[in-house]
Amino acid sequence: MGPVSLLPKYQKLSTWKGDSAKMTHLQAGLSPETIEKARLELNENPDVLHQDIQQVRDMIITRPDIGFLRTDDAFILRFLRARKFHQADAFRLLAQYFQYRQLNLDMFKNFKADDPGIKRALIDGFPGVLENRDHYGRKILLLFAANWDQSRNSFTDILRAILLSLEVLIEDPELQINGFILIIDWSNFSFKQASKLTPSILKLAIEGLQDSFPARFGGVHFVNQPWYIHALYTLIKPFLKDKTRKRIFLHGNNLNSLHQLIHPEFLPSEFGGTLPPYDMGTWARTLLGPDYSDENDYTHTSYNAMHVKHTSSNLERECSPKPMKRSQSVVEAGTLKHEEKGENENTQPLLALD
The CATH architecture that domain 111-293 belongs to is: 3-Layer(aba) Sandwich (3.40)
Q: What is the DSSP letter of 290?
A: T
Report whether 124 contacts 157 (CB < 8 A): no
Q: Which residues in the chain land under pLDDT 50? A: 1-23, 291-354
Q: How confident is the model over 254-303, as pLDDT tens digits?
A: 888 999 999 999 999 999 999 999 998 889 999 998 633 333 333 333 32
The reported pLDDT for the residue numbered 59 is: 98
Cα–Cα distance, 318 to 295 (Å, whole number): 19
Q: Are 130 and 169 in contact (CB under 8 A)?
A: no
Task: Check the CA dihedral 238-128-136-22 and report its sign.
Answer: positive
Print burial letters for 137-164: b (CB count within 10 Å at least 16), e (below 16): bbbbbbbbbbbbeeeebbbbbbbbbbbb
Q: Is 120 exposed, middle or buried (0-12, 13-18, 19+ CB in 10 A)?
A: buried
User: What is the pLDDT, as a whole number, of residue 290?
Assistant: 63
The domains of the chain are located at 26-102, 111-293
Position 299 scores a pLDDT of 38
Half-sphere exposure of 79 (CA within 13 A, CB side): 27
Q: Report if pTM > 0.75.
A: yes
The top-level CATH class assigned to 26-102 is: mainly alpha
